[in-house]
Chains A and B, each alone.
Chain A
């Protein structure tokens, strides 16, 4: 099977005996060895573990045992997930001194229980306070579509590894946009589920009240396969919802008939580059919608997410800022130090506003089932770029790539980012659904993919490999 086989194809071949799990794992490991020097997506490769898992799968099949929905599917995780035997870096220098994790993150265990094969840990922005994918300790994640450009972050290695064909699925985290931004800049599908849907147990946190985990993949079906395998309550994560598993895969083929879909106006139209607006227009046209809705106070929502992030992030790292300030990425350190100094009254106001805003947006979902919005204001910027011109005003790039993702994750709404293959670089669109309706966003994504309106483009350098 080549680098572009989907998880579904791989699992079907392994279950049917047309391919061995060991051969699939060895091929993934070979691609990592061959390609990663150019995109810098991996910080650790778990070769022995992967081959042992693959051998166990092949042996189980030989014994006639049934294999799971992800049998033999290679995957990798942002290096803030605990991987037994590895220190959980979270993109930092400081965490390299931590003892190796003694157990896997819940989501890794669940994917492996479905037969997936972990092949390594992935590069990320330091402590996830990042939208670029750049890392001063490990070097920048590089965009497979143009290695002089950013992957987006903070799940930068996830974007590079999946877009580069190294693995079909990666797990990332999204506090303010860190799955959706790299999905957009690398031309991938990304799912940020409802806040509380997927367990965060045994992952390094950033902003407890905003942190989500989810998959990136090259197809909607692969997102759904991984998502379904990871659902379910987990007592090890205090905010993981007590909901029964609601499989999305069986819903994918239902199409969009009967769904009321709107486009986000106002805030979500301002500041966007032409490509971002063109991508939303293309999808709106394909879905035959001209209905525009305004999310009230979206700019304040973004501001409140910014404030909560700065202060909760600072609180998390306060001791390290006191004792190890020189070991931080200076860009991250200075943002955290500023966050530590913010008056608490403004933070409480932001949390009060959060509930109010949630209630206002909930009213919109009485009238529509899904809302379309840009994922990023622009396609992948050049590595090292510091400023971005939005609406004619030069702004710092690092915090502003998440302009359109922050007001959505702020209230925990589920989103599928879908890739629109504009040339020369792709860009993503958010399909936003009501709380707990990941199935709606995934159905729309699948319909768009079936109609070839969205697709994950193959990088020119590895197009045929």
Chain B
């Protein structure tokens, strides 16, 4: 995972035209690891296919 995430960051930065300095990588990677973990935690809850997203939320 460690090395593959390094490669992912490198490729994503290239695809998105984001200039990344080498010394920024550890912090970007640490942040991405946390955000991916949290994103997967959310995604692991099974919801019906018909569940509507709430992109513009109305309370």
Contacts and interface: CB of A to CB of B under 8 A. Distances in A.
Given A346-B43, A353-B42, A310 B52 contact: no
Interface residues of B, number: 36
A243 to B, nearest CB: 11
Given A306-B35, A355-B51, A337 B43 contact: no
Nearest to A197: B59
Contacts of B16: 318, 340-341
A337 B18 contact: yes
A349 B42 contact: yes
A303 B41 contact: yes
Given A341-B16, A352-B53, A435 B59 contact: yes
A431 to B, nearest CB: 17
B27 A334 contact: yes
Interface size class of A (residues with CB under 8 A): 35 or more
A205 interface: no
B57 A303 contact: no
A300 interface: yes
A274 to B, nearest CB: 27
A352 B35 contact: no
Given A337-B28, A341-B12, A351 B55 contact: yes
Interface in A275-324: 297, 299-300, 303-304, 306-307, 310, 318, 321-322
B29 to A, nearest CB: 8
A307 B31 contact: no
A187 interface: no
Interface in B1-58: 8-9, 12-13, 16-21, 24, 27-29, 31-32, 34-36, 38-43, 45, 47, 51-58
B47 A352 contact: yes
A339 to B, nearest CB: 7
A342 interface: yes
Contacts of B24: 330, 333-334, 337
Contacts of B19: 322, 325
A350 B39 CA distance: 7
Contacts of B56: 208-209, 239
Nearest to B32: A338
A413 interface: yes
A351 B59 contact: no
A462 interface: no
A352 B38 contact: no
A300 B39 CA distance: 9
Nearest to B21: A325
Contacts of A303: 38-39, 41-42
A300 B35 contact: no
A175 to B, nearest CB: 12
A342 B59 contact: no
Contacts of B53: 348, 351-352, 354-355
A210 B59 CA distance: 11
Given A310-B35, A355-B52, A300 B42 contact: yes
Contact of A352 (B9, B20, B52): B52
Contact of B17 (A322, A411, A435): A322
Contact of A297 (B8, B35, B45, B54): B45
Contacts of B55: 209, 351
Contacts of B12: 340-341
Given A353-B45, A356-B51, A196 B17 contact: no
A307 B59 contact: no
Contacts of A196: 58-59
B57 A340 contact: no
A338 B35 contact: yes
B42 A413 contact: no
A333 to B, nearest CB: 7
Contact of B32 (A194, A306, A341): A341
Given A322-B17, A353-B47, A307 B54 contact: no
Interface of B: 8-9, 12-13, 16-21, 24, 27-29, 31-32, 34-36, 38-43, 45, 47, 51-59
30 contacts: A196-B59, A209-B54, A209-B55, A209-B56, A209-B57, A300-B42, A303-B38, A306-B34, A307-B38, A310-B31, A322-B17, A325-B18, A325-B21, A334-B31, A339-B31, A339-B35, A340-B12, A341-B8, A341-B16, A341-B28, A342-B35, A347-B39, A349-B42, A351-B54, A352-B51, A352-B52, A353-B42, A354-B54, A354-B57, A412-B58
Given A334-B28, A341-B13, A350-B39, 6 more contacts: A195-B58, A196-B59, A322-B18, A349-B47, A354-B57, A399-B34
Nearest 4 A-B pairs (CB), nearest first?
A346-B39, A351-B53, A338-B31, A435-B59
